[in-house]
Amino acid sequence: MLGFCILAPLGDAIVKLLGETVPLLEILTIRFLIQAVLLAVLVAVTGRSWHMTRRVFWLAWLRAFLHIAGIAAVFVSLRYLPIAEAIAIAYVMPFLMLLLGRFVLHEHIGPRRAWACAVGFVGTMLVVQPTFVDVGWPALIPLLVAVIFSAFMLVTRQIARETDPVSLQAVNGVMASIVLVPLSLMIGGSDDPMLHYVVLLPRELYLLAAIGLTGTAAHLLMTWSLRFAPSATLAPMQYLEIPVATLVGWVIFSDLPNGLAAIGICVTMAAGLYIVMHERSMARSMPPEQP
């Protein structure tokens, strides 16, 4: 999950760089095509199986649609908001995941996990400093991102233990491409600035390739994490994406949070690191499994 928290903001920064010149639909289609090709080759080379039960197959389709919607919402939000602010607003997601893990998957939360999520959420609010008067309706898009990706991770959690992570992400890329490529062919000539296609410059091709690589790697790591740990454990760790996003936004776009936001970042990091240390301490205290 830490690997996801590092790679995802890097991919977001590249999207923000491309956002003014490359339409949304073109970025989405190429991003998922790269994922499909890369991981299909990896599945073939490593001899992994494409087989899925009927239940997993249909859940994988639901996951693909959620993934498309979530990535699209992220890309749109980055056209209007700084990276750190967009991600910080979206980070009501771990709180939603905690609730879903408790009431849908019946996972044990425990008071320390709950308090860590609550503290991280307070830190997020300090980072956000919502200014809806200045930003307008785009400030609400990251909240939509939070809802979509909470559902996405819930579905992932349902099937991650039954499928190989590489195969699952390969199938995800193929399914998303099956949806996006025909859609692009049908409406790629539209006059809508987010839907029409443009001729790409070499620099844009390189950046699109980087989006595909970072996005594929990030979500592969996220899928692996959900296979080996409950969502209640992973939810607080995801808050670490916010300080990484702040650093990336500062280095690339010179977007530096003010003092209150900096305090929020420290609070968020502390909550995430606390739960990591707590989980490691619990794992060490458990007796070893008998052969």
Task: Calculate ∠ Cα 6-11-16, nearest 5°.
Answer: 130
Residues contacting residue 245 through CB under 8 Å, at least 6 positions apart? 9, 12, 83, 84, 87, 88
pLDDT band (50, 70, 90) for residue 153:
confident
**pLDDT for residue 164:** 85
| Other C-beta atoms lying within 10 Å of the C-beta of residue 254 | 7
| Residue 284 pLDDT > 80 | no
Tell me the pLDDT band of 246, cut-offs 50, 70 and 90.
Answer: confident
Position with higher pLDDT, 57 vs 86:
57
Report the distance separating Cα 27 and Cα 33, nearest Å: 10
Chain-wide mean pLDDT for the chain?
A: 82
Asked if 208 contacts 97 with a C-beta cutoff of 8 angstroms, the reply is: no
pLDDT at 226 over 60: yes
pTM of the model: 0.79
pLDDT of 273 over the 70 cut: yes
Q: Could you tell me the pLDDT band of residue 290, with boundaries at 50, 70 and 90?
A: very low
H-only helix segments in 130-258: 132-135, 141-159, 165-187, 202-228, 231-237, 241-253
Cα distance between residue 246 and residue 88, in whole Å: 9
Helices H / strands E in the chain, number of each: 13, 0
How many whole angstroms separate alpha carbon 224 and alpha carbon 2? Answer: 11
Take residue 121 and report the two structure tokens written for it. Answer: 């959420």
Chain segment 173-218, per-residue pLDDT in tens? 999 999 999 998 888 677 776 777 788 888 889 999 998 899 888 8
pLDDT level of residue 267 (50, 70, 90 thresholds): confident
CA dist 139 → 91, 129, 148 (Å): 13, 11, 16
Decide which of 154 and 106 is more confident. Answer: 154
Task: Let me know: does 82 contact 253? Beta carbons within 8 Å.
Answer: yes
Q: What percent of the chain clears pLDDT 70, i.e. is strictly above it?
A: 88
Q: How confident is the model at residue 291 (pLDDT cuts 50, 70, 90)?
A: very low
Look at residue 68 in the predicted model and tell me its pLDDT: 94
Question: What span, in angstroms and rounded, lies between the C-alpha atoms of 173 and 82?
Answer: 28
Residue range 155-167: average pLDDT?
Answer: 84
Name residue 26's amino acid.
E
Q: Does residue 2 register a pLDDT over 50?
A: yes
Give pLDDT, residue 44.
92
24 against 97, higher pLDDT: 24
Q: Which residue has the higher pLDDT, 232 or 152?
A: 152
Asked if residue 133 has pLDDT above 60, the reply is: no
Per-residue pLDDT at 32 exceeds 60: yes
Token couple for 60: 């994988």
* pLDDT for residue 143 is more than 60: yes
Average pLDDT over residues 5-20: 88
Other C-beta atoms within 10 Å of 178: how many?
14
Query: What's the full length of the chain, in residues?
Result: 291
Please give the structure tokens belonging to residue 259.
Answer: 């003092």
